[in-house]
Amino acid sequence: MIFAVTILMLAVCRPHEPANHNPLPDQEKENPIPDYNKPEEENNDEKTDEDEDENEDENEDPDKGENGDKPPVDYPMLTLSANAASGSAYSLIRASGFDYETPDQTGGGHEGVPHILQQFDDTLKKNVFAFVMHHANDRNVSGDWTRQRVEIKVDHRTGSSGRDFCALDGANEGRGFIYRWKFKLPSDFAPSNEFTHIHQIKNEGGDSSAPVISLTARLLNNNRRMVLIYRAPSFNYGSGSAENSPNRNLAGNSGNSLDDYLGEWVQCEERVVYSSDPALAAYSIKIIRIRDDRVLLDYTHSAARYASVETNTEKWPFVTWRSGNTHGRPKFGLYRRIFSGGNPGVSAEPDSSSLIHGLKDETVLYADFEVIRIN
């Protein structure tokens, strides 16, 4: 009798075994911006418990991007995301290895008024940065009052964590970088037939007067366009304007419609290899509208493509490193001309007759900056 009861209790108390001891992890969200340097993964339907644990650890990694596309751990990386729903972002920017250039700095004409703020965004459901530009009050701190600038960039000051990203004395020619960020133009954003840059790749030292790459909103034949511009080294065009080079607009002759960007968050990924050799210089950019995953801009430069499509390739080489450059870095934010003509370096209000009409106060939102060095 006792033996029978014991057998019955063991049967009742035996723990339930799940039907599948090794369930596959949930499918990760597809990365809308592919990692072109990432090798193809082997198809392996069998996963062990250890594999599943590793996937769970990756999903909990705070440094991992929303799309699950974290670079290898040995890649140096700077990140900057808003951490508050209000207030100035200046201290956060510098603590993250970046620096800023805004009209409230000495010489900008609008001291005491922060121009990069933090706020909560209902679409992304997170805190973001608001870059604010005032048409009537803001001026460029470099001394050219024909222009306005509200930008952030990698910090190169001694002691900054950003300094290691762009080695000085020309040591970073040949290095490759990935730049990622999000931005949102307001639905009533107003460009002009002059430049309104929202992103630049700007080298420093030597031939550095013009950015190598700029993403700019512009009126072309009264059409609002988003234009990707490359500027050749100055020694190749002498006193002429880089904007008159035949390879000015990389993404088609007139860019793509600005209307597709207005009032929308977009995700950007840009890749560059800095080199003075046209055979080695590399550049690509992809911009995807977050709401519907629509690709708004997709451009990849290659030496073969350039030689076969563009004209005057010997006079206008595609290079990402110029004579005397010491480092290259990305810049994010608003930079626009508000007076035509003018003399850079003269901090005086130009004649009102040269004021560019149609411009106004603007607030452009940015989020989730990543600067990744890949070699």
Domains observed in the chain:
77-373 (2.60.120.200)
- Give 324's contacts (C-beta < 8 A, 6+ positions apart): 205, 206, 207, 208
Task: Give the pLDDT confidence score for residue 208 in this predicted structure.
Answer: 84
Nearest CA-CA partner of 318 in 271, 277, 286: 277
User: How many other C-beta atoms lie within 10 A of the C-beta of residue 316?
Assistant: 22
Around 226, how many Cα atoms within 13 Å sit in the side-chain half-sphere? Answer: 18
Rounded Cα distance between 176 and 375, Å, is: 6
Task: Give the pLDDT confidence score for residue 254 in this predicted structure.
Answer: 46
Model confidence at 352, in pLDDT bands (50, 70, 90)? confident
- Read off the tokens for 267: 């995700």
Task: Give the pLDDT confidence score for residue 306 in this predicted structure.
Answer: 53
Q: Which residues pair with 335 in a beta bridge?
A: 149, 197
Q: Which residue has the higher pLDDT, 204 or 290?
A: 290
Share of the chain above pLDDT 90, in %: 35
Which tens digits make up the pLDDT trace of 48-58? Answer: 444 444 444 44
Residue 39 has pLDDT above 80, yes or no: no
Task: Give the pLDDT confidence score for residue 366 in this predicted structure.
Answer: 98
Contact 21/46 with Cβ under 8 angstroms?
Answer: no
Which tens digits make up the pLDDT trace of 106-153? Answer: 676 787 889 999 999 999 999 999 999 999 888 887 777 788 999 999
Task: Give the pLDDT confidence score for residue 329 in this predicted structure.
Answer: 85
CA angle, 80 as apex, 75 and 83 as ends, to 5°?
140
- Read off the tokens for 49: 């418990």
User: Average pLDDT, stretch 365-374?
Assistant: 94
Which tens digits make up the pLDDT trace of 146-190? Answer: 889 999 998 877 667 676 666 544 446 788 899 999 999 999 999
Q: Which residue has the higher pLDDT, 98 or 164?
A: 98
Q: Which residue has the higher pLDDT, 242 or 161?
A: 161
Residue 315 has pLDDT above 60, yes or no: no
Residue 42 has pLDDT above 50, yes or no: no
Nearest CA-CA partner of 217 in 334, 369, 355, 356: 334
Rounded Cα distance between 229 and 304, Å, is: 19
Task: Give the pLDDT confidence score for residue 69 in this predicted structure.
Answer: 56
User: Average pLDDT, stretch 263-288?
Assistant: 93
In three-state form (DSSP H/G/I as H, E/B as E, the rest C), the secondary structure along 148-199 is: EEEEEEECCCCCCCCHHHCCCCCCCCCCEEEEEEEEEECCCCCCCCCCEEEE
Least confident of 183-197, 219-233, 342-356, 358-372: 342-356
Task: Give the pLDDT confidence score for residue 105 in this predicted structure.
Answer: 84
Most confident of 74-78, 156-160, 197-201, 300-304: 197-201
Mean pLDDT, rounded, of the chain:
74
Nearest CA-CA partner of 143 in 345, 295, 373: 345
Task: Give the pLDDT confidence score for residue 167 in this predicted structure.
Answer: 53
- Read off the tokens for 288: 């995807």
Share of the chain above pLDDT 70, in %: 64
